[in-house]
Amino acid sequence: MKNLLKSLKALADGNRLRILRLLMDRPRCVCELQAALGVAQPTVSKHLSILEEAGWVDKERRGKNFIYYQLIEGIAPEDHRTTLLSLLRPWLLEDPELTALSRLAQDLNPEEIIRGAEKRRSGLCRECGAEITLNER
């Protein structure tokens, strides 16, 4: 019963359901989920940690910079997550908000997201690469 409760608690958050929906499309890295959800990286990482601990997602390192998370699909038929996912899947795929989020996230590219973040940290404009200066008051 502990595992069932942990699984249900992991689903009891809107952002975690959004993450599950995005992972139904394909594996994603934290920066993609962060960009799609519009929340801070530590928030995304915390949600992923909860989902991973409950057995909903696992992760795989790709290259030296990216860890991709994916929905665990091959769960044994007798596992409660198989039943829960079969009940959730139609709703997650048909919900208008989640469908719009999935469309928005389709073209996210981790390398471009990282380059944009590096430019912002370096004081360069994301669009043209020009140096950004702040007026002092």
CA-nearest of 62, 43, 50, 65 to 20 is: 50
17, part of any domain: yes
Average pLDDT for the chain = 83
23, part of any domain: yes
Q: Tell me, what CATH number does 17's domain have?
A: 1.10.10.10
Is the distance from CB of 32 to CB of 105 less than 8 angstroms? yes
87, part of any domain: yes
Rounded CA separation 125/35 (Å): 18
Per-residue pLDDT band at 10 (split at 50, 70, 90): very high
Task: Please name the residue ranges forming H helices in the chain.
Answer: 2-11, 14-25, 30-37, 41-53, 80-94, 96-105, 110-122
Rounded CA separation 18/22 (Å): 6
Domain that holds residue 71: 2-122
Q: What is the pLDDT of residues 15-72, one digit of tens each?
A: 999 999 999 999 999 989 999 999 999 999 999 999 999 999 999 998 887 899 999 9
**Which pTM does this prediction carry?**
0.77
129, part of any domain: no
132, part of any domain: no
Number of domains in the chain: 1
